[in-house]
């Protein structure tokens, strides 16, 4: 059993699927914590939630890395509609992943900048909340296409029209 698990952990497509909930579900939970801590005026709670937001936002890097490494293998396993969804998934990720990196930067600022400028805490927390909501929207949009690559039961609309690959 251990051998099977270790073999699975060597496959980038497996790691991509294993890690991809972190930037979505993890961020949603951390965002909820930040909103609750802000409502309760708890700076300690805000700091905890900001650290979690930072970590979940940065977790997009290994998700993208392993997704890129798995592309060719998944493309070869997918049917024509799945290939179209894969291309849409990659295109969406390439265009929108910057939101997660920006969120990591802003959340880090919300953690450290108020030590020197305490009045910056509130605007930075609210900027983090807004950027986290935007990142969750982008992540949901990316994941929407990703879920349809190999799961025909989720394909309730025609696949997106994709451009032919350059030669």
pLDDT of residue 167: 47
pLDDT of residue 41: 96
pLDDT of residue 165: 58
Rounded Cα gap, residues 116 and 77, in angstroms: 53
Rounded Cα gap, residues 120 and 110, in angstroms: 8
3-state SS class at 116: helix
pLDDT of residue 114: 97
3-state helix, strand, coil in the chain (%, to 5): 80, 0, 20
Name the token pair of 135.
Answer: 């990142």
Domain ranges across the chain: 2-154
Contacts of 70 (CB under 8 A, 6+ apart): 11, 12, 13, 15, 16
pLDDT of residue 42: 97
Using alpha carbons, select from 52, 49, 128, 64 the residue that is nearest to residue 96: 64
* Tens digit of pLDDT at every position of the chain (167 positions): 777 776 767 788 888 888 999 999 999 999 999 999 999 999 999 999 999 999 999 999 999 999 999 998 888 888 888 899 999 999 999 999 999 999 999 999 999 999 999 999 999 999 999 999 999 999 999 999 988 887 777 778 888 886 655 54
How many other C-beta atoms are found inside a 10 Å radius of the C-beta of residue 40?
9
Distances (CA, A) of 117 to 53, 121, 137: 21, 8, 31
pLDDT of residue 7: 74
């Amino acid at each position: 059993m251990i051998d099977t698990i270790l073999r699975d952990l060597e496959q980038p497509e497996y790691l991509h699927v294993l890690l991809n909930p972190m930037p979505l579900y993890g961020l949603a939970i951390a965002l909820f914590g930040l909103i609750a801590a802000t409502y309760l005026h708890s700076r300690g709670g805000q700091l905890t939630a900001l650290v979690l937001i930072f970590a979940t936002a940065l977790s997009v890097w290994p998700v993208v890395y392993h997704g890129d490494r798995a592309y060719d293998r998944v493309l070869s396993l997918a049917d024509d509609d799945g290939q179209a969804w894969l291309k849409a998934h990659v295109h969406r990720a390439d265009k929108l992943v910057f939101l997660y990196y920006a969120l990591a930067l802003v959340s880090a600022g919300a953690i450290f900048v108020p030590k020197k400028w305490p009045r910056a805490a509130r605007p930075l927390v609210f900027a983090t909340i807004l950027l986290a909501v935007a990142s969750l929207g982008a992540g949901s949009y990316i994941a929407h296409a990703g879920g349809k690559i190999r799961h025909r039961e989720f394909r309730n609309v025609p696949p997106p029209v994709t451009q032919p690959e350059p030669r």
